Structure 1
Amino acid sequence: MRRSKIAAGVAAVVALGLTTACSSTPTSTSSGSAAEAANPTAGGTLSLLIGTATEHWDPQRTYVGVDIEFGNRAFARTLTTWSPVTSNTEQATLVADAATDTGQVSDDGKTWTFTLKDGIKWEDGQAVTCEDYAYGISRTFAVDVITGGPNYAIQYLDIPKAKDGSSQYKGPYDGTGQDLYDKAVSCDGNTITFKMANPSGDFNQALTMTAFGAFRKDKDQGDKSNFQIFSNGPYKLDGTWSPNSGGTFVRNDQWDPATDDVRKAYPDKITWDESLSQETVFERLIANQGDDANAITYDPAPVTALANIASGAEGRTDIVASPYTRYLTPNFKSKVMSKDKAREALALATDRAAYVTAVGGDQVAQPVNSLINPALPAFPDTPLLAGDKGDPAQAKAALEASGLTLPVKINVAYRKSDTMDKIFSGLKTGWDAAGFDTNLIGIPADQYYGTLQSPDSASKYDVYWAGWGADFPSASTVIPQLLDSRSQISAGGPGQDYGYFDNAEFNKGIDAAYALTGTEADKAWGALDAEAVTKYYAVIPLIVDNFVFVRGSNVQGAYVNGTFTGYYDIATISVKH
């Protein structure tokens, strides 16, 4: 999941006087607030200082980790969710949220049932119903309208596919195939039943995503609902959302804490300010003055803030392993990147060492050649093809073998920030030395993934940067979500298969991996990862990194939930006042 909200920029851990392991997943370090968390304070205002604009609040379109975390904890309850944690190293467990339990599954693994709790209401006082969840999930199938979100419902549910691999159900706006959806998702009072296409032992984990959340039909405005927030959680939006500015969340008086064992909802109010630069966010957090003492950020620290964090934020930092892998994806619709040897050349010329240097050094970023994060059991640890720095000479030989005339012009898109500008300047040096003529195109953060997922981008860019982390602890939330053309590519765009990788044999391998369990499944997913990277050059993994977060001195109970998105979990945060 979870494209990370921040493009790059993590702290140099040594500069902070803290140590992590460089050869494996780092140890989480926190100066923490455990003592204060034992006596949380209700009331007050929690401030969120954000350096990147939000792309979606529509629950079915939300697929950035930060927004999933905040949306779920503040206003979009799901049938199941992940428990809060009491330390940065604690593993969260799957728990019931709007449902009475984590689900009942049939012996063959193909039918799941959940019963909704009584007493859950929308902010206008109407009861949240089974039909609201069924309708919300149905919106995922309208891939030409509800863009940007995960496609797990299309993947899991027993709804026939068309010849092109797309679902025969086209969503609630078109209505085509509605009877097929109603057979796969049905309501009987407060009980919702899901029919799976294949045995699915982890379906109840997928339901933790807001894409499986409720949406009331009479509130649906299609793509105009992008920043509409209609709450069934502890907070509601006060007024309207202002893109690139933010909004204020106040208590939802229709939320009943008796129905909710997850969200403590200590603050009376939460303000979200996304009008800031990352540099300003950290200047204010380090200064810790006025209302900023009541603030957190979801932004990992940029390199430019490191020295000041070390000297000015002692006792208010948290260092954790990022769940994300940063990678490049060549565009198979590009005249250049449609050629195997051109993709191979790009991979061989990629200087991961330059990337590591730009984000703060090898204490906080490690080069990788696998999409699957090292924290997952399926991690294949594929060797780098040409070392950390790449091999321009070897890459040039591959590019010459492609039949293209050198230098070969390529347009490379990335999510613009000061740090990313430096990163891609370093990568360009290696690519150009191999015979490419690299044109770097930085796209504003609030437009980035929307641009990648637009059909128009297929003719504009040759290579894209992206970041990805597992939606739950399984590689089945990585490989299919990025490389299964059948569930991703449609007339509305590539989904998360940004490079339009479409390979029938690879898709057969995905189907085979789904049929396995345990270590055999892990091996199969790892093998597919290695195949995508070293046979098809469908992706070029770059690094895994660590996150450094800073919080205000009045913030209590702030823990990074590594299982649930890898950011501060507001379910337990309170503010001294």
Structure 2
Amino acid sequence: SGFDYFAQLPSTIPVPQAKDTGTKYKEHVVSTGPYMFQTNDLGKSFTMVRNPNWDPATDPNRKALPDQIEVALNVNSDDIDNRLVSGDLDVAIEGSGVGPSAQGRILADQNLKANTDSSLQARIWFTVLNADVAPLDNIHCRRAVMYAADKTGYQRAYGGATGGEIATNLMPPVIPGAQQFDTYPTPNNAGDIAKAKDELNQCGQPNGFTTSISYRAERPKEKATAETLQQSLAKAGINLEIKPYPLADYLKLYAGKPDFAKANGLGLMVYGWGADWPDGYGFLSQIVDSRTIRATGGNSNLGVRDPAVDAIIDQAVNEQDKTKREQDWVDVDKKVMDDAYMLPGIWAKGLLYRPQNLTNVFITNGFQMYDYLALGTTRK
């Protein structure tokens, strides 16, 4: 039902058969668009320049304003923010907004604040509760975590209300057909220790338990998330040992590799997800469908394994009626929350900063981020 969205992903863009080198294709990508790769240092940086073979008449949706685009990868987020504010960088391609320190500086300066934008995004910051790690293999222990979590602290980790709205379920309100609901309500979203302890009793851990929580080391907001969860869960007797792992291999070798996560007791794994495209399948399928989990690692589903969830996904994928299909995706959301596999943190609302040299800037409704294809710059 979402095939038109699926067909526009990088992984499904057609490649001339003679140029298809399989896994090596990323080393030399063939261009039919306005830009082509000049340099491509995998995992570090790449530069794109004008493609002399591109015909604008065949591509009316893109203006292709800059002559050259330089992209640096795996850069410290604070460095990115500082370079943005100083005008040394045009845009942060991650699109989730500046970090807490830069945010405070920007909001305190009216001149800098005038160069900001904010909108609710098709993105959620959340924490997976790993049922492969005892005692979280017991649903009541997972529910204890859900009740004990202070979501106001989660929100503060991302810069407060400027950084996003407290999430009570998975699908952000900007996804067509999404519904807001709260399976684990707590007073002022600050946690309910009494209910958490009741769930601990039901799972046979009346005195609480100890497990580990992982996050991507280069993400200060995720570090702050791990710390605030450590503090709030401790009130219910759930003790968290914090373990940072490199961002570049977080999914390939650590949190996204089931055997490693289980062997190292990663009961909680901090993560985030933005919709591949703005509908239920584009948002949910890769983070809740158990059939996407590979033993070799590289997973974005870090631990949701439920045949009932998979069955509703299949129903949604084959549903022709849009209204019924959207309700199916809401049912997927509700089932995952009932199972307490994922702790929703916040629906992202990043403070986006645009230097004065950036031109033709607007937020695309599809992804609630800057439309990178439209950007221009006065930089020479």
Give the TM-score taking structure 2 as reference length.
0.87
Task: State the partner residue of 2:336.
Answer: 532
Q: Structure 1 residues 307, 476: CA separation in 2 closer, same or farther (over 3 Å shift)?
A: closer
Counterpart position of 1:326? 125
The alpha-carbon deviation at position 225 of structure 1 amounts to 4.8
Flag the 1:336–1:278 CA change in 2: closer, same or farther, 3 A: same
Cα separation, 2, equivalents of 1:314 and 1:405: 49
For 1:6-405, what aligned pairs fall within 5 Å after superposition? 200=1, 202-216=2-16, 219=19, 222-225=22-25, 228-244=28-44, 246-274=45-73, 276-288=75-87, 292=88, 295-298=90-93, 299=95, 300-310=97-107, 311=109, 312-383=111-182, 384-387=184-187, 388-404=189-205
2:355 to 548, 552, 559: 552
Cα shift readout 1:281-336 (whole Å, capped 9, x = no counterpart): 23233233xxx3x7222351111012432424254222222221122222222232
Match of 2:370 among 568, 572, 575: 568
Distance change >3 Å, CA 376–CA 419, structure 1 → 2: closer
Conservation of the 8 A alpha-carbon contact between 2:122 and 2:175: no
Please state how far the C-alpha of 1:358 moved relative to its aligned partner. 2.4
Give secondary structure in 2 for the equivalent of 1:381. Answer: coil
Which position in structure 2 is the counterpart of 1:498? 302
Tell me, what secondary structure is at the counterpart of 2:120?
strand
Instruction: Provide the residue aligned with 2:288 in structure 1.
Output: 483
Q: Distance in 2 between matches of 1:421 and 1:354?
A: 12
Flag the 1:529–1:276 CA change in 2: closer, same or farther, 3 A.
closer
Q: Summarize the Cα distance change of 1:568–1:405 in structure 2 as closer, same or farther, 3 Å threshold.
A: same
Mapped partners of 1:472, 1:398: distance in 2 = 36
Q: Deviations over 1:36-88 (max 9, x none)?
A: xxxxxxxxxxxxxxxxxxxxxxxxxxxxxxxxxxxxxxxxxxxxxxxxxxxxx
Query: Which of 243, 246, 257 is the aligned partner of 1:454?
Result: 257
Structure 1 residue 364: Cα displacement:
4.0
Higher helix proportion, which one?
A: 2
Aligned sequence identity (%): 24
Deviations 1:131-169 (CA, angstroms, capped at 9, x unpaired)? xxxxxxxxxxxxxxxxxxxxxxxxxxxxxxxxxxxxxxx
* TM superposition shift of 1:251: 1.5
Kindly name which structure, 1 or 2, has the bigger radius of gyration based on alpha carbons.
1
What is the CA distance between 1:407 and its match in structure 2?
Answer: 4.3
For residues 422-441 of structure 1, what are the structure 2 equivalents within 5 Å?
422-441=224-243
Q: Residue 434 of structure 1 aligns to a residue in which SS?
A: coil
Letter aligned with residue 297 of structure 1: A
With normalisation by structure 1, the TM-score equals: 0.59
Is residue 380–residue 529 contact of structure 1 (8 Å, CA) maintained in 2? no
1:408 is aligned to: 209
Match of 1:519 among 298, 323, 326: 323
Distance 1:505 1:419, change over 3 A: closer
Equivalent residue letter for 2:302: Y
Find the residue that maps to 1:321 and give its secondary structure: coil
What residue identity is the alignment partner of 1:471? D
**d(CA) in 1 for partners of 2:162 and 2:370?**
22
Q: Give the length in aligned residue pairs.
A: 368
Unaligned stretches of 5+ residues in structure 1 = 1-199
Cα distance between partner residues in 2 of 1:352 and 1:398: 18
Deviation per residue, 1:445-464 (Å, 9 max, x gap) = 22223333334334232222
Root-mean-square deviation (CA, aligned residues, Å) is: 2.5
Q: How far does residue 347 in structure 1 lie from its aligned partner after superposition?
A: 1.0
